[in-house]
Amino acid sequence: MIRTLVAAALLAGIASPALAQNGPPPSPYAPQPDKPTCTMEQLKAATAAYVAGQAKGDISALPLDPKAHYLQDMATVEKSAGLWNTALPVAHSMSLHDPIRCKTFSEIVVTGAKPYVIGTRLYLHDGKVIRVDSLVTKPGDWLFNANAYLKYARAENWQPLMKYQGTAPAEMIRGANAYLDAFADKFTAIPWGQPCARLEGGAYTNREGKPDASCEVGIPPGVLYIVNRDYLIDPEMGVINVFCRFGSSTGGPDSHSFRFIDGKLRAVHTISVLPGPQSDDNGGIVRAPAPKT
């Protein structure tokens, strides 16, 4: 028995280098640790530098790791190729900070001749930004209208919560998953609260500002799986942001931000890099006319 175990161990030792040689080459990017370290002050300084950098078209003020990984619309790009190199007139911004996962999320709205709604994640470790991950939506993307997004994002209250209004992180994850699961299973129990509004690309569900507005305005029919979910939780804001893909692991890149108050969902913001109908400046959906028969 002992001989068998020793022989197996020797074989494993011999096989391991061979397996390593046949594996993928080492990543050229800074590794993402399972348990990164950061402070809330570092995270907030990073988002302030990012938003200012996007306005100037220069993010060099960020504490960028020399091997930082850059992505746009969930595809790897060279640092020089990202939209963060273009100076943009930032009309509105809002940032989230996760001191446990060492991630940030910044929502930026740009109006004018070249409008955008941008959602950018920064990943930090030991004081350095090791990953810059931007979703860039523009005319033609799902329900896009930067003017409407600006109008309603400014009108909503996304200020830090009172401590007694907070929701446990595990409950925020459960609630966010329930919402995303509903695209495949319409029987999931979503913890809706009131009032609640959904801002999707520019389309808004409470254009009348009703105090009893509900987010239960329906989920698109059919079965659509939302996968590759990556979570960020801001405990001060009571918000969970989820980066994910619609339909498959190569589906449309998407960001969903869920605001919880007293354990209930009260606001949802979505940025979806998917072609689709547009919104008007008032947040209504502009649908293509029916074909003539």
DSSP string, 146-161: HHHHHHHHHHS--PPP
CATH 3.10.450.50 fits 40-138, yes or no: yes
Q: Are 288 and 212 in contact (CB under 8 A)?
A: no
CB atoms within 10 A of CB 90: 18
Query: What tokens appear for 8 in the block?
Result: 């197996």
Question: How confident is the model over 196-206, as pLDDT tens digits?
Answer: 999 999 999 99
14, 289, 290 from 293: Cα distances, Å: 72, 12, 9
Residues with Cβ < 8 Å from 288, sequence gap 6 or more?
Answer: 277
Element at 278 (helix H, strand E): strand 278-279
Name the segment(s) of the chain with CATH classification 3.10.450.50: 40-138, 159-286
Average pLDDT for 16-38: 80
Kindly state the tokens that stand for 44.
């907030």
Q: Pairing state of beta strands 90-98 and 103-110?
A: antiparallel
pLDDT reading at 89 higher than 70: yes
* pLDDT confidence of residue 184: 96
Token output for 97: 């900070």
Topology adopted by domain 159-286: Nuclear Transport Factor 2; Chain: A, (3.10.450)
- DSSP summary character for residue 273: -
Is-contact 261 194, C-beta < 8 A?
no
How confident is the prediction for the chain on average, in pLDDT? 92
- Sorted by sequence, the CB contacts under 8 Å of residue 293 that are 6+ apart come out as none
Residue % of the chain over a pLDDT of 90: 86
What is the token pair recorded at 14?
A: 């011999």
- Tell me how far apart the alpha carbons of residues 263 and 265 are, in angstroms, rounded to a whole number: 7
How far lies 47's CA from each of 3, 11, 97, 103, 199, in Å?
Answer: 59, 50, 8, 10, 22
Q: What is the pLDDT of residues 168-182, one digit of tens each?
A: 999 999 999 999 999
How far apart are the C-alpha atoms of 188 and 171, rounded to whole Å? 14
Average pLDDT over residues 267-292: 89
Kindly tell me if the per-residue pLDDT of 209 is higher than 70. Answer: yes
pLDDT beyond 60 at 7: no
Dihedral sign for Cα 185, 145, 95, 209, please.
negative
Q: Two tokens at 193?
A: 């609260």
Scanning the structure block, which residue is given the tokens 């911004």?
93
Tokens of 40: 């809330």
Cα 260 to Cα 240: distance, rounded to the nearest angstrom: 8
Q: Quick check: bond before 195 cis, omega within 30?
A: yes
Question: Going by DSSP bridges, is the β-strand pair 239-246/116-125 parallel, antiparallel, or unpaired?
Answer: unpaired
